[in-house]
Amino acid sequence: MRLALLAGLLGVLLFSRARQDVIGQQTEPLRWIEAGAGGTLPAEMYFHNADGKLGVLLTGGPLEMKGHAFFEPQGINPRGCVTCHQPSNAMSVSVEAIRERWRVTNGEDPIFAAVDGSNNPKLPQALASSHSLLLNRGLFRVGLPWPPADKTVKPEFIIEVVRDPTGVNLDDTYGLKGANPTISVFRRPRLSANLKYVLSPDDVFNIKTGTLMAIDPETGKPASMNMMADARHLTLRQQANGAYRDHQEGRQGSLRREALEQIVAFEQQVYLAQSHDRWGGSLVEANGPLGLGPRALADGKIHVLANNNRDPVFRLFDAWKTPATMAKELTDAQREFRAPVARGNDVFMFRQFWIRDAAHINSIGLGNPIKRTCATCHNTQMTGQDLAPGWVDVGTVNYPTWTELPVFSDKAELPVFKLTCDKGAAPHPYLGRVIYTNDPGRALITGKCTDIGSIVMGQFRGLAARAPYFSNGSAKNLRELVDFYDRRFDMKLTEQEKVDLVNFLSVL
């Protein structure tokens, strides 16, 4: 929640906003779209959230949902793609919305399907406690085969289950000792929008591995590998088929060709960003910052490395830096809102700190530590992802810097795995050969010790509409996200810098 902070060093006004205030009534007819319900999806949509409004743009114009594969159930459960990718939640889903669905449907909404919407399919599904990771963190169960499905991968480590609060990893059906040995991790759904940036690959060389980039089998060109938390799917078609089998419990092996093409075409035309702020009004205005609002994303150039002061990640905010550069008709509240946002952009782009002990950042020849900024890694213009394949271990899921409670805490919610690396394998560059983690991340796909805990960074758009944050949903709000990085890298952010950074992130 945003609190109006009136205090600070030398009487500086720390401008923040009350997150608990609600803008009007949440009466948008498309606030929650049920699979199979039909209706028309407008070309432009606006949805209230605690910080203002989210804007969603369909460049292909209005779309009829009835009969469209993205909005219709495809598997044996009644989910559609839209169930977990709601336009009102920035084409993802928020904890607030999930809890409301539990209340409205008494836990019977398809989003709570036992296959992955519960902590363990064998738990009594009518109990909220059986869905606590979804209700508290917005996490879905992701069951991945171990050893990896790719038989060419030779794992460099063994996995042991240290803590299993859900019981699923030690289960004789769904766990490591089942007929089909499986590791279950719990992750937030990615937003299926602004994908022209997400799917835009770096050159042919993968700086994270020192090898050539993976090749998109459909085009023969390098693939970005930035779409999923563990980069296991290279294309939208692969991802859609994977979701059909895993989340919708499809039984046909793959989607019908017509359905697959409909889903991919729809996902490629969706652009979104925060469009209004509850204090600052419209974020899209003449002579304002050029990177705000969904239209800016639809019109923007792809593949722009923007970790510099000439062409910043979210474009320039000079128009909001001083009252003299702001529009004359603005209210005092709007003027007070703009200056902190512009300062927050400067913190993101130019506030240097020491980045240390982060695998696939410090370990790829850049030095350890290196003095850089947030934009060093979040360098893709308009989204804040990484132009290179974005898997990094910044410590959110690996002990000792993880975001979780201590290993043996009775209140801990996530599993803990102990990974022991082979003596002949290259160890994790900073954690050695024995690593405790909530989610091995990319290593579950590659089998490499060096990848343990590495998660592909996500884009920054629509943050206000889709809390919580991090792949494990551990940051309930943007302030908790900022505080984690401040601790992790000893950034020594001032209170003013933290507030400014939160305000900046909230308008993206």
Inter-residue contact 429 to 363 (CB < 8 Å): yes
Inter-residue contact 320 to 342 (CB < 8 Å): yes
Structure-token match 């009644």, residue found: 78
Inter-residue contact 25 to 507 (CB < 8 Å): no
| Sign of the Cα pseudo-torsion (75, 271, 360, 185, in order) | negative
Inter-residue contact 332 to 469 (CB < 8 Å): no
Inter-residue contact 408 to 163 (CB < 8 Å): yes
DSSP 222: B
CA 72 to chain CA mean position, Å: 24
Per-residue pLDDT for 7 more than 60?
no
8 within a domain of the structure (yes/no): no
Inter-residue contact 347 to 314 (CB < 8 Å): no
Question: Cα angle at 52 between 47 and 55, to 5 degrees?
Answer: 40
208 within a domain of the structure (yes/no): yes
Phi, psi angle pair for 97, to nearest 5°: -70, -40
Cis status of the peptide bond prior to 429, with omega within 30 of 0: no
- Provide the percentage of residues in the chain whose pLDDT is more than 70: 94
Per-residue pLDDT for 23 more than 60?
no
63 within a domain of the structure (yes/no): yes
469 within a domain of the structure (yes/no): yes
Please tell me the distance from the alpha carbon of residue 171 to that of residue 183, in angstroms, as a whole number: 10
Q: Which residue has the higher pLDDT, 445 or 209?
A: 445
Question: Cα angle at 263 between 81 and 249, to 5 degrees?
Answer: 40
Per-residue pLDDT for 316 more than 50?
yes
Token duo for residue 463: 């943050």
User: Strand, coil or helix: what is 84?
Assistant: helix
List the one residue out of 463, 465, 467, 470 whose CA is nearest residue 439. 470
DSSP 391: E
Show Cβ contacts of residue 404 under 8 Å, excluding neighbours closer than 6 positions. 412, 413, 414, 438, 472, 474
Q: Report how many domains make up the chain.
A: 1
Angle between helices 495-506 and 478-488 (to 10 degrees): 130
Please tell me the distance from the alpha carbon of residue 508 to that of residue 157, in angstroms, as a whole number: 40
Per-residue pLDDT for 84 more than 80?
yes
Token duo for residue 490: 């000893």
Position 408 scores a pLDDT of 64
Please tell me the distance from the alpha carbon of residue 174 to that of residue 141, in angstroms, as a whole number: 11
Please tell me the distance from the alpha carbon of residue 257 to that of residue 198, in angstroms, as a whole number: 23
**Secondary structure of 84-134 in the HEC alphabet?**
HCEHHHCCECCHHHHHHHHHHHCCCCHHHCHHHHCCCCCCCCCCHHHHHHH
Per-residue pLDDT for 363 more than 50?
yes
Please tell me the distance from the alpha carbon of residue 483 to that of residue 499, in angstroms, as a whole number: 11
> For the segment 232-271, what is each residue's pLDDT rounded down to a tens digit?
999 999 999 999 999 999 999 999 999 999 999 999 999 9
266 within a domain of the structure (yes/no): yes
Position 489 scores a pLDDT of 98
> For the segment 95-138, what is each residue's pLDDT rounded down to a tens digit?
999 999 999 999 999 999 999 999 999 999 999 999 999 999 99
Q: Rounded to whole angstroms, what are the CA distances from 501 to 308, 370, 504?
A: 18, 21, 5
3 within a domain of the structure (yes/no): no
Position 50 scores a pLDDT of 95
Least confident of 77-81, 149-153, 367-371: 149-153
Domain that holds residue 209: 23-506
> For the segment 490-501, what is each residue's pLDDT rounded down to a tens digit?
999 999 999 999
Phi, psi angle pair for 63, to nearest 5°: -135, 130
Inter-residue contact 377 to 460 (CB < 8 Å): no
Residue 204 pLDDT class (50, 70, 90 cuts): confident
Position 6 scores a pLDDT of 30
38 within a domain of the structure (yes/no): yes
Please tell me the distance from the alpha carbon of residue 236 to that of residue 255, in angstroms, as a whole number: 12
Please tell me the distance from the alpha carbon of residue 304 to that of residue 10, in angstroms, as a whole number: 40
419 within a domain of the structure (yes/no): yes
